[in-house]
Structure 1
Amino acid sequence: MRLSHLLPLTLGGIWLAVFAGVLAITLDGSHRTQAWQMQSHAQDTATFLGLALSAAARNDPATTTAMVDALFDRGYYSEITVTATAGGSIVQRRQAPHIEDVPVWFVNLFPLATPPAHAAVIDGWREVANVEVVSHPGRAYEELWRTCRRTCMLLGAIGIASFLLTVGTLRLALAPLAQMMALARNVALRRFDTRIALPWTTELRQVAAAMNDMSDKVEQMLDGQTRLAEDLYRKAHQDPITELPNFRTLKARLDHWLRAEHAPPNGILALIHLDGFAAFNARLGRDHGDALLRQVTQALLRRFGAGPDVVLARGNGAEFLLLRGSPDPLDADALGTMIVDTLRPPLAEAGGGLPVTVRVGLTLLSPVADTSALLARADGALRMAQGAGGRPWHLAEDGQGQAGDHGGWRQRILDSLHDDSLLLHFQPVRTLSGALLHREALARIQGKDGQLLPAAHFMPLIRETGNEARLDRLVLGKLVRDMTAMGEGAQDRIAVNLCTASFADPDFPDWLIHILAGHPALAGRLIFEFSEVDFTAGRSIFAPHEARLSALGVAVAIDRFGQQASALRLIRNGAMAYIKIDGSHIRGIENDPDNQFMVRTLVGIAHGLGIGVIAEYVETAAEFEAVAALGIDAAQGLYIAAPQAG
């Protein structure tokens, strides 16, 4: 119970006790007074009548009757009787007590005794008659009822005024408590924009000041921890000049790319070299050389961007590497021309009297022995481009990739957006103890020959053609149907990957809210996952809809986390259920101290913010034991279980 309710209820209970006590004491005193007054009134009347009859009556019945009637007709008596001493009634007047304007229950609750009063009629020295008078209780009850009502009204008015004053005072005094609760909730949600206005009560003022100070300290601590983790990430994974992933990181991602399900198999690796850069750097100095490298970086980023299907990294010296998922492996020719055309302007503007030109070696992703062989093939293609006198790029001749019947698959992918051939497989995510945390729904497209195509194979084409919203509609629609078919007994949560670009579609957000509102029980079991790169780029698109989804019970999580240092700001400033650490940091982690340190740091920050941590692409017992020792909450991958049809 809230304190603002408990205190008024407690004070109300005390007031009711006081009210009942005061009313009881008042009514008891008034009741005794009225009883005494009736007895006294009856006795005074009996004495008066006895004396009057003694002086005037002389046993005259007519006079006696007249005097008795004069008193009785006033209505203050229920009985007046004059009885002769020798026997026999001289005068008797009696009326049944009739009490008006007083509730019967009140009369029954407070009975008034009306004992008779007696007086003697004296003639000389002889007692000739006896007078008996009984007061009528009606007037006493009216006065007692009037006293009760007035007392209740007075106490009620005092009680209402006291209650209103108490509530008003409590609201003023306890208003900071609501602000304190809001501050505590916001701190738990990593929001530090709430401040508590200092109250006028000394104790609460001290508490409010302490909580404001605590919020500032937590924010500073979290900022410092985040900056430290970002700095460590940059030192280990980024080139200090261009802030691109370094060669070590590119090699790890390429190795993961070749084996991970989410990686496009039809990608192209481009090894870009700036010929003449060494002489340019030696003549104009390091500052000019670094500036040129940054200009080249910005030109490549503007042209190719950064997304789930693109990795741009700095190699050794004047080399850059571009890993690009392509819906068509035959795009290598166009990519080589595009790179050269993109870099020609910044290189021409570099000046210095020394020409700097670009040469590009290209190779298609294909089933090679290992990452080193693929890099060697790209390097060989670069040497061919540098030695040839023709075009400045060269495609490795043995890099035919996985073209095959690519044109047929391309059309099949586009057709699947309309013919409902999409399938869903499910892969469990389990805690370290083996308990099921949730399952992830993975999209598949089935070809005419029955072959299943995972999402990595068709997502580049989906993005290229702008069909993200169409695909997400198909996936969510089928998922809702499958979850409904599971019945009410199924309670496990389901995670599904979405694209932030879908929320830029004018119809998709309202359609999604309508579907979820129509299935409230299912909405509470859904988790929407976004890749880190996609969520970073599209956060502003998704943010306006986040509150509505949260109100329906939908959770949000980040997939493939740890590809860039700025990702730490996502968990620093966003409310999410969990993060999934990218497989490039998990693969071979038992032998990689740098990745172990990074994962341990991420786990510490995330757990401090109440966010779960999941390791994805855990494929060996050694990897599982390593991530378990680092404190992750759950794991997903072939070591845990392979995806299965729903």
Structure 2
Amino acid sequence: MWKRRVRPRVRSTSRLFATFAVASLVPVVALGALVLQDYTRDAAEQGRAQGLAQADVITQMVVAPALNSGDTPTLGGDDLSRRGLTADQHDRMREATRLAVFNGSVQHLRLRGFSGRVIFSDDGSSSSGVPVSDPDFQAASNGEPRARVIMGRTRTIRVMQPMFAGATGQSVGVVEVYLPYQEIADRLEQQVSHTFWRIGGGLAVLYVLLALLAWLTTRSLRRYAADQRYNALHDALTGLPNRTAFRTWVEERLDRATRDGGHGAMVLVDLNRFKEVNDTLGHHAGDELLREVSVRFRDSLGPDDILARLGGDEFALLLPGRDRTDAVALLEQARARLTEEMVLDGVPLSIEASFGIALYPEHGHHMEELKQRADAAMYQGKRGTMDIVVYSGEQAAQPHQWLVVQAELRHALERDELILHYQPKVGVSDGTVRAVEALVRWQHPERGLVPPGDFLPAAEHSGLIVPLTEWVLRRALTDQLGWTAAGKRWVVSVNVSARNLEVPGFPGLVAGLLAEHRTAPHWLMLEVTETALAGDTDTVQRAIAELSALGVGISVDDFGAGYTSLSHLRGMPVAEIKIDRAFVKDVAHDPQSRAIVRSVIELAHGLGSRVTAEGVETAEVYRWLIEAGCDEAQGYLIGRPVPWPQVEPDFSLPVIDYSEGFVR
């Protein structure tokens, strides 16, 4: 597709070369014509000079001797018009000129006085000739010879040559000589012809060199322009189209789909834990990873599919003509290819990615609209357990609104608009409250009480999660002092994200807050999501080890919903495992859920950890948990999140009849 876009550029450079060739030809031809004109003029001047020289020779060697030889007195300083010639001089002149005319060196010769009178003529005529008023005659009368080429049936050189007296050196008349010019002209034309071909050949070579230089320059410019255009539209690292090219492609395809009723999908892809590769193996390994990922993506796509790198570890795809099923099937193949093990710097890696899909025209008709919704679906997948997520309307987060949420949340921290509610966790065996989980709420001045799902994702993907978590810890420990003073011995649980654990000094922050509130570490439980543990980074592992060494309890939240394996839990100082509500809610009637929950309970007890079931909403589920040996329960059956003074279990504890061996 992009090759077709380059062709107009090629045609324009061809036109540029043709224009340059024609434009350079004009001055070359003009230069050649000017040089030829100058040379022709010089040749004509040379012909006149030869005529003057020949006329001077004739005057000196023919006319003057004829007039000054023999017994006749030599020429004096008088005008020949007054004196004329003697018969003897006239005969010698005739004899001399007859020989010259016969030899062809002279066509016609006259000797004239200053008055114009013909003193002698080779043909005996005494009329015609150059008028006295002619500038050439006047110049010759004043002692200055003149020559002119006369174009007639035959080309002739007319020379007006002054006649000087032999003794005095004064001009006494004018010799009017007509000399044959054809031979001179032929010789000059031959010289001009030779010169023309030499000059023409030289100019032709010059033109060819200029044209070759122009062609080479144009080709270089064309290649440079093509390279610049390619670089402007492609990613230098992977060779994939960049954000600008992708936008152009998408807009063209969407316009075409709008006209023709077509459909397709836009996909945004973000690599998981790419930062860890850069941090641990270096940026060169990260670059190699991106190149390998781009190759694997390309191998998984069809000929009409478009792949681009938007920047960092973010990629985008446009899948024309593919519906929801086709798009998901294609991305599952791409994901399988992507997760194949690769080796970077001797380290085997398996890369994963999150895919967000927006369909057109179902989810939008414009580039930005589809991109926002694909982005929302992708981040929904990052927060959940699905790698491939199709946009599902308002249920998906809107990352493009997060900037606004983040700005307002900063002000909320400054203005103390956040509050904590607490949900109780009870011992399954006796129903007493053993711990409470701190859940943050936002008392927005305009929107009222905002649930955490509306602002925590924005905080988790920015630096705000750090001060927000510190605020929750500080407020929870302060509230704990209040219920402890009221005789309530409850452990407080606070949720922390992987980003908190990755911040240097987080264990020290927790230790400082415990010391500030004079709270024993075992009265604090930090709940870490299973997904955070799946990262298995050295920083997270080190932070958990330091917190456990302080005496703070570590709880694995939402167990079963993420990617944690037994290898992650082995050797991990875990005090509590919380079973995800997705498995707990169906234990009353789903054999598979019951099997999973029983296995988790046995696993946790084998690791020396307590087990808490989340999402307990019915007495039937609660009774089953008692039989399964679960340690603690949490959910709406037991109590909803409320301010700490209102925390009390609001359900009737099922009676355990040990004599009968069942729960009533």
Bin for the TM-score computed over the shorter chain: 0.3 to 0.5
Structure of higher RCO (CA pairs closer than 8 Å, 6+ residues apart): 1
Bigger Cα Rg: 2
Q: TM-score, normalised by structure 1?
A: 0.40
